[in-house]
Amino acid sequence: MAPPRLTGALRSFSNVSKQDYTEDIYDLKSKRLKRQELLSKEGLTWQKITQFFGQHLEKGEQRIATEELKKILQAARQIVGTDFGQETVESAAVFLFRTFYGTDQVGHEETRAIKHMFGPFPCSAADVSCAAVGRLVSPMDETQVEAFVKAETTPRVPDRASFGRNIAFSFDSYALDYLENLPWGDEDGHPGHGFSLDF
Amino acid sequence: MASARVPLDEQHVTEPSGPMGRDRTLPALHPERMEDRCFVVYRPPPLESSAAQLEEFLEHAQFIADDLDWLLALPHDKFWCQVVFDESLQKCLDSYLRHAPRGLDPEALPASPAVADMQRRLHRSVFMTFLRMATHKESKENFITPAVFGEIIYNNFLFDIPKILDLCVLYGKGNSQLLHKMIENIFTQQPNYYGDLEEAVPTITQVLDTILEKCGLQLEGATASEPLKLEAHGRSTAMTMSQQDLVDLVLYLCDSCTTIYSLLDIFPAACHTFQSHGFLSRLASFYELAVPDFEKAIRKRNFDDKSLQEDMWRRISHSCRKMVEIAHLFVLHTCLQPILEGSENVQSCVEEFLQIMTAFLQEKRFLVDYDEQFSVVDDVSLLQQAFPHLDETRSSYLLQGVECAWESAGRKRLRPAPIAATQEVMERRGKE
């Protein structure tokens, strides 16, 4: 439990701060999805992936590719749950594509990455999406897919000087500043009488 | 794009909007220009560090740190849109101020190096965010009209009194100069904060009264207008309350004293607001009543954990020191400094000093502890030099009172007795 604080009393009993007791707006799961959504907006998007395969595959292969893309989307829906909209599902599908395009199995790293992004997820959905991504990229040259993903992935933090970058900051904090240690053996502030020389 | 040399609050921007991509013009500060970033709230590092708890803390903290990095790298106009309109950002910052470990917390330091590193990264980013929020002029091109800035920060609760106090106690030790500039700017651009501080002081005083009440003690005058409750006689005291209650009270006192001290140290102008509520005499009376009781309880109670008992003692000692230092900050900033700086109101400052010190005469334990750290005789001699018309009868009475307080406390002073020292000063002045 948090230690009692003066500012806690001020927030509770005075009228000088915003009276708003609901703290959590977003939990970890919705934050993970939001991050994925932002990432996919910044660079690689589901639309770009579908366009890429539409442009680079033969007509006969395109029908199969469409099926595989659908499977990836379905797996993404299973992983994020039914409470989220198309945009979130597509961003999750982008994440699955990016996770699996260079591998042919759901290994430890891939499982950890998905869990970190979405929390607990059905393994079957990961297996299905991994296999679908594998079939999707198999007619293509590996380096071509690699180049496409890299080109579409932009840095997350804007390349701009951050405020405060050159401001000196100290991590010093207030520490206990006491004058004396506990006077063991004292009674009412007077010297202790643990022994006596008064024989 | 926003035009240069026009304050942000007067700028308009034209940007494409909607599926048709038609241009639209909006004020530069507009909720639709805010990005939906979804800041999460801060949670303190877990005390029991299971791997899962640590991972959860790190993930939470990583989100906040990344989001604050993103925020701090935003251009001026986008930063302010986010700050003003993103409720989740404000909740995130507020949660950090509330829950971030203070240096004084019993278990302040995270054990894991990864957690400690992340905590340090967050600590700096949160400070820089508040620093940017307290800056109305970032550069020649990027600025907000001062009066509008004052309204923005006040009406949107970007800063409020509890937040300012949290900032002082979290960052004041190592960043006092920056923090002083920030708080001074906030109060200058928005004087309503003085009114809020005025409103907050009675609650701060109430905290002291609550501690006394919990210890079965009552301040004369504090509740004299209220009849004594019938169950008051059966109330617990520092000796009889549960150990956990005693620990909580000591932690509360320790945090309160440090927080008040940090504010007054960083922003001395607040002393006048506190003093207008007679805070100092309440503090001295509180000290006189509560400190001996706490000390006795901590010494005599049977603690299972001796290290906890020692920690409680140090916290009471720390609180005493801070209360004395608070009193000295008042004396310094409301009396001594204006006198030394040749203020026009020297006489009223001298009168204020004598009144404060004379009021301390009733609180003998407090006076002795004060005098031990900040010699009253030195201050009196300083006044005598700066203000030759100082009433000698009153100053002698005051110094005799200090001497009596030492005698009644039965403690030995390390410095020469005030009377002797005053005589020395007087003699020196006579020779000069």
The domain ranges of chain B are 8-190, 198-224+233-431
> Over chain A, what is the mean pLDDT?
82
Cβ–Cβ under 8 Å, residues B325 and B373: yes
Residues in chain B: 432
User: Residue A71's pLDDT is what?
Assistant: 94
Nearest residue in B to A157, CA atom: B70
Name residues 198-237 of chain B within 8 A of A (Cβ): 199-200, 203-204, 206-207, 210
Contact A174 B173 (CB under 8 A): yes
Cβ–Cβ under 8 Å, residues B72 and B105: no
Q: Where are the alpha helices (DSSP H) in B217-276?
A: 243-266, 270-275
Lowest mean pLDDT among A136-140, B156-160, B298-302, B423-427: B423-427
ipTM above 0.95, yes or no: no
| Residue B106 backbone dihedrals phi, psi, to 5 degrees | -55, -40
In this prediction, residues B328-336 reach a mean pLDDT of: 95
In this prediction, residues B175-188 reach a mean pLDDT of: 98
| Residue B157 backbone dihedrals phi, psi, to 5 degrees | 55, 35
When scoring B64, B72, B176 by the number of chain A Cβ atoms within 10 A, the one with the most, hence best to mutate, is B72
DSSP string covering B272-305, please?
HHHHTTTHHHHHHHHHHHHHHHHHHHHHHS--S-
In this prediction, residues B382-388 reach a mean pLDDT of: 86
How many whole angstroms separate alpha carbon B246 and alpha carbon A49?
Answer: 63
How many whole angstroms separate alpha carbon A76 and alpha carbon A64?
Answer: 19
Instruction: Give per-residue burial for B323-333: e unless 16+ CB within 10 Å, then b.
Output: bbbbbbbbbbb
Q: What are the pLDDT digits (tens) for A64-94?
A: 899 999 999 999 999 888 777 888 888 889 9
User: Residue B202's pLDDT is what?
Assistant: 96
> Smallest Cβ distance to B174: which of A11, A160, A170?
A170
How many whole angstroms separate alpha carbon B343 and alpha carbon B386?
Answer: 11
- Name every chain B residue with its beta carbon within 8 A of the beta carbon of A15: 199
Quick one: pLDDT band at residue A26, thresholds 50, 70, 90? confident
> Over chain B, what is the mean pLDDT?
89
How many whole angstroms separate alpha carbon B237 and alpha carbon B214?
Answer: 7
Q: B71 vs B12, B30, B167, B373, CA distance in Å?
A: 21, 16, 19, 45
Residue (of B59, B88, B87, B84) closest to B74 by Cα position: B84
Name residues 367-426 of chain B within 8 A of A (Cβ): none
User: Residue A82's pLDDT is what?
Assistant: 77
Q: What are the pLDDT digits (tens) for B104-120?
A: 988 766 678 889 999 99
Residues in chain A: 199
- Name every chain A residue with its beta carbon within 8 A of the beta carbon of B248: 3-4
Q: Where are the alpha helices (DSSP H) in A57-198?
A: 59-80, 86-100, 108-118, 123-137, 142-152
| Residue B137 backbone dihedrals phi, psi, to 5 degrees | -125, 105
User: Residue A197's pLDDT is what?
Assistant: 43
- Name every chain A residue with its beta carbon within 8 A of the beta carbon of B72: 162-164
Name the DSSP letter for residue B335: I
Higher pLDDT, residue A91 or B240: B240
Q: List all residues 6 or more positions away from B311 whose beta carbon is below 8 Å from its beta carbon.
A: B106
Contact B120 A177 (CB under 8 A): no
